[in-house]
Amino acid sequence: MYWYNKYYMYMYISQFLIMISLTLQNRCLNTRSMEGMKLSVHPHEVMVDERVSVQVSGLAANQRVTVYSSIKSGKGEVFASCGCYQAEKDGTVDLERTPALSGTYTGTDGMGFIWSMRPAPGQRSGLRLVQTDVTKPQLVNISIHSGHHSLSDLCKGHSNPPLVTGVLPRWYKSCDVSRIPVTSGRLRGTLFLPKGPGPFPGLIDMYGTGGGIMEYRAALLASRGFAVLALPFFGYQDLQKSFSDLDLNYFKEAVTFLDTHTHVQSGGLGIIAISKGAELGQFIAIHCPVIKAIVSINGMPYLSFSPIHDGHITYPNAIELDLALYDHTEEGICSKTGHCFDTSKFFKVWESDVKILSIIGSDDMNVHPDLHQLQVGCFPAHKQNNIELVVYEGAGHLIEPPFSPHCRASYIKMLGTNLVWGGNPVDHAYAQEDSWRRILHFLNKHLREGHRKEGIKSLL
């Protein structure tokens, strides 16, 4: 255990020093500018699933201003938003009360300055904002400009210097959550553990055909009191290069690793996954009775594109990866059209006792939304309570944690082009915020029930 304690101490001290540095930076958020204007952001530092209050004071009555916000990704890509406002008679703009008249969002929405972000003009198409290093905060730069300006002009610097500026740090990983790389046998991934001995309810977190590892949702869920294994299954370290011919035993090893961990409570694990990962999550649950709950986000109800092997047994895929079956548009490939509606090839998850929360975007351009309703219809009457289907009108495929900027299409290396995910920013933002609360409620209900609930961190 010496290596673990030493690693944890190093990560904790490093993040503590970052937080001290950011605390000093944050003073600018409540410091008046030379013109007597003030930008107030409360709280000064938050988890990404928490709301903030943004206010500007010291303006002239009815003064026209633009709130410009931006984030630079770990790869140097810039995502930005703007909202054009007219100050109240008392010279204030409160993003929760004052309507945005134009910009990347309109109307009264206190978090529109984040969820409406889009790739800044002049960059390549198909960008997606992903936090690759969860030990560092996502920094939101906020500036207030006199007059109304377009996003293009602001991004290109075609406006007067800002009246006042500030930086909002947003964290995916709480400082008291430990991040532990996993290299156990052939198993690869990252384990996130809340502070304390536990035991904590265990979760496996998987993503889709983009490959590699995604840690941000796992880190956030660990910050809400779950022990979470972010599990890659191809395109990471020495794992296989593609998702063809996957081995079921790899996933069984991941289940055993988490289920037997000293910090994980006994009695059952959960899976949260999106797209190809959600498809695999259902398949794993059929073969691993220890899986008691699944959050499936726009996942197919059958094996797609390639078979899965389990020793000498091969489980065939229901559809092939045939780009000729898909719609090719200016935005990219829409794969919604190339799916299997033969329910005899669906996973028979109703034969197990696993509970499923199925989160669906009605404007998903990747997986046809009708598939999920067909799957619900396969459940016999006495098992209907085992699956809950929530369909969000206008939402797309990539339903992420709250306030994540909407990504309508992004580049997929495997395809060599953009894949269209669908959705519109306003409806998608609602889906992300509402589904997150449902997800936390669902996981708490089915994984914590009957266990002690000390130290639970929840938005409920």
Q: Is 401 helix (H, G, I), strand (E, B) or coil?
A: coil
Q: Report the distance separating Cα 46 and Cα 31, nearest Å.
A: 19
For residue 372, give both structure tokens.
Answer: 């999920």
For residue 230, give both structure tokens.
Answer: 């972010």
Q: Report the distance separating Cα 439 and Cα 276, nearest Å.
A: 19
Q: Report the distance separating Cα 404 and Cα 407, nearest Å.
A: 9
**Is the separation of the CB atoms in 304 and 282 below 8 Å?**
no
The reply to whether omega before 121 is within 30° of 0 (cis) is: no
Closest Cα to residue 141, out of 158, 159, 117, 123? Answer: 117
Q: How many CB atoms lie within 10 A of CB 343?
A: 13
> Environment class of residue 380 by beta-carbon count within 10 Å: exposed (0-12), middle (13-18) or buried (19+)?
exposed
Active site residues per annotation: 275, 364, 397
End-to-end CA distance of the chain: 35
Q: Report the distance separating Cα 74 and Cα 81, nearest Å.
A: 18
Q: Is 59 helix (H, G, I), strand (E, B) or coil?
A: coil
Q: Report the distance separating Cα 67 and Cα 26, nearest Å.
A: 18
Q: Is 267 helix (H, G, I), strand (E, B) or coil?
A: strand
Q: Is 360 helix (H, G, I), strand (E, B) or coil?
A: strand
**Is the separation of the CB atoms in 35 and 163 below 8 Å?**
yes
Q: Is 215 helix (H, G, I), strand (E, B) or coil?
A: coil
∠ CA 69-72-77 to the nearest 5 degrees? Answer: 120
Q: Report the distance separating Cα 28 and Cα 144, nearest Å.
A: 13
